[in-house]
Each structure stands twice: as structure tokens, then as C-alpha cells.
């Protein structure tokens, strides 16, 4: 079974979802990952209405794209987390997605995060949508600060509808370049249901998000560590800056479409080359 490779609409921050879907389809991708991530793109809770889900699904299908995953992040320890996660679960189900991706929250709020997941888990199981918890790319003392700590939490829950979304680039930046993603994922692959592919160029000025294969994240070692059927998404938040390796900041204006388009095509080519090399090695 061919690996599912999606493209996150976070790449098109500042442009319409319709334009993002059109560009992703024209680049030759087969799947789109709609992204609703605070700090990455602008959105409000009204976006998760059923009418919007129906419209988005039709737009993707018309363009010839499937939807395997949707990113709709929130802090699962927040006061309204149960309601917010429930809205996102219904939205993902209406899109026909298999994965709902979100961060978890601070380690100190572990019990609250668990309560939120336990409250919404029956709805996820009924809709057959897996909650894929993602390791962060900045901050500290997060529940999912490493794949090992995240996997321990996943195994404690013990449901096939809760797994890890392993973000390769986030491993690199959260660890301040100490850890490469292949090292992080090695012992916990059984807990990983989905992966994000992100890259950053590292220099004296800090980190700059870039096309896959053009940065400091070691995908040559990471790719062979992924099961052949594990779905992945290309996530390139090119509008964000990380000067001096500080937390992400959005530029005032969107990245121009020719630059976005070129980065997407190079990234798809890079992933295809990794996949081809992996298949030839089997």
C-alpha cells in the first residue's frame, strides 16, 4: 500500500483555503491537511461548524485531493478543552479524516489533559478518528517534550484512537539541536500513528523554516525509521521566523505565491526521492 503524503495548508498562511487546495493539487500532491494552528494561521472557533466542514470536503474532493488528517491545535488542559476538542472531533469526522492532530499541554497539567481525552474519547472511537498528539517545537516542560514521554502517556490511555503525531522538525528545535528525529522516534515507533515533516535552516541569525531537505533536520536517517505505511504530512510554515532561536513569530505579510509554490514542489520531490530510495532498498 503506497504511503499517504499530505501537504499542510499552513504553507499558505495569509491566503484562502481554496487557493491552498488548488495549489497543492496543481503541485501533484494527492492529499491535503487543513491546518488550524494558532500562531501559524488566523482562524476562530466558528471554523469548526459542520457547514464549513462540508464545504471544505467538497472543495478538496473537487480538486482531486483526499483528507487523511486535520491539524486543529489546542491546549488540552484548558478550561474549555472538552468542548473545543469535541468540536474538532466532529469537524475531522465530517471531513472524512482519520487523524485529528493537536498539541497536548504542559507536563504539570498531565491530569487535566488526561481528563479531557477521557471525556472525548468515546466520540473519537464512535467516529473512528484517532487523536494524534504532537510534540511541540518550542517551549519547555511539555507533556510531549520527547517521544518517549509521549509514548508512555499514550500507552497509559491504551486506545488505538490515541497516538503520537511525530513532528520531525519540532524534535530538532525543541531540543535546541541536541536531538535528531531518528534518535527520538527509535524506541517508540509503536505509539506513532502519523508524522509531520518540517525542516529548518540553522545559522547565526537563528532558524529559518525551509523546503524539506534544505535544512538541518536529518531526513536521510529519519525516513528509514518510519514504517512504510505510516502517513505523513509536509508542513512548511514559511511565514514564521525564529530569530536567535526564539519562539516563532509571524511576518507581517504572507510569503509570495511563487516562493511558496517552488518550496512545495522541491519538498514533494525530496519526499518522493526518499520514498523511492526506501522502496529500492527493500
CA angle 251/212/2 to nearest 5° reads: 130
Q: Is 13 within 8 Å of 237 (Cβ atoms)?
A: yes
- Rounded-to-integer distance, Cα 154 and Cα 158, Å: 6
Q: How confident is the model at residue 2 (pLDDT cuts 50, 70, 90)?
A: confident
5-281 folds as TIM Barrel (3.20.20)
Domain boundaries, the chain: 5-281
What are the tens digits of pLDDT across the range 37-89? Answer: 988 888 999 999 999 999 999 999 999 999 999 999 999 999 999 999 999 99
Task: Give the tens place of pLDDT for each residue, 110-161.
Answer: 999 999 999 999 999 999 999 999 999 999 999 999 999 999 999 999 999 9
- Say whether 211 sits in a helix, a strand or coil: coil
Exposure class string for 29-47: b at 16+ Cβ within 10 A, else e:
bebbbbbbbeebbeeeeeb
What's the rounded Cα separation, in Å, for the pair 24 and 60?
10
Tens of pLDDT, residues 167-186: 999 999 999 999 999 999 99
Residues present in the chain in total: 282
Amino acid at each position: 500500500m503506497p504511503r499517504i503524503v499530505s501537504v499542510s495548508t499552513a504553507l499558505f498562511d495569509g491566503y484562502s483555503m481554496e487557493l491552498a487546495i488548488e495549489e497543492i493539487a496543481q503541485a501533484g500532491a494527492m492529499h491535503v491537511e487543513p491546518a488550524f494552528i494558532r500562531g501559524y494561521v488566523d482562524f476562530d472557533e466558528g471554523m469548526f461548524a459542520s457547514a464549513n466542514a462540508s464545504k471544505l470536503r467538497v472543495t478538496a474532493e473537487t480538486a482531486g485531493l483526499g483528507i487523511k488528517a486535520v491539524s486543529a491545535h489546542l491546549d488540552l488542559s484548558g478550561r474549555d478543552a472538552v468542548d473545543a476538542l469535541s468540536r474538532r472531533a466532529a469537524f475531522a469526522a465530517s471531513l472524512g479524516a482519520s487523524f485529528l492532530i493537536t498539541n497536548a499541554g504542559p507536563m504539570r497539567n498531565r491530569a487535566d489533559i488526561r481528563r479531557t481525552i477521557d471525556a472525548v474519547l468515546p466520540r473519537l472511537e464512535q467516529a473512528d478518528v484517532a487523536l494524534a498528539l504532537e510534540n511541540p517545537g518550542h517551549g519547555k516542560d511539555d507533556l510531549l517534550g520527547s517521544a518517549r514521554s509521549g509514548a508512555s502517556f499514550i500507552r497509559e490511555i491504551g486506545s488505538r484512537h490515541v497516538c503520537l503525531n511525530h513532528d520531525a522538525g519540532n524534535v530538532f528545535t525543541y531540543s535546541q539541536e541536541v536531538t535528531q528525529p531518528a534518535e527520538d522516534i527509535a524506541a517508540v515507533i509503536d505509539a506513532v500513528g502519523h508524522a509531520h515533516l518540517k525542516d529548518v535552516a540553522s545559522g547565526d541569525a537563528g532558524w529559518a523554516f525551509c523546503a524539506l531537505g534544505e535544512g538541518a533536520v536529518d531526513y536521510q536517517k529519519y525516513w528509514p525509521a518510519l514504517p512504510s505505511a505510516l502517513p505523513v504530512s509536509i508542513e512548511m510554515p514559511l511565514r514564521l521566523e525564529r530569530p536567535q532561536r526564539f519562539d516563532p513569530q509571524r511576518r507581517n505579510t504572507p510569503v509570495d505565491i511563487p516562493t511558496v509554490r517552488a518550496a512545495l514542489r522541491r519538498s514533494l520531490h525530496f519526499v518522493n526521492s526518499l520514498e523511492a530510495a526506501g522502496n529500492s532498498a527493500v
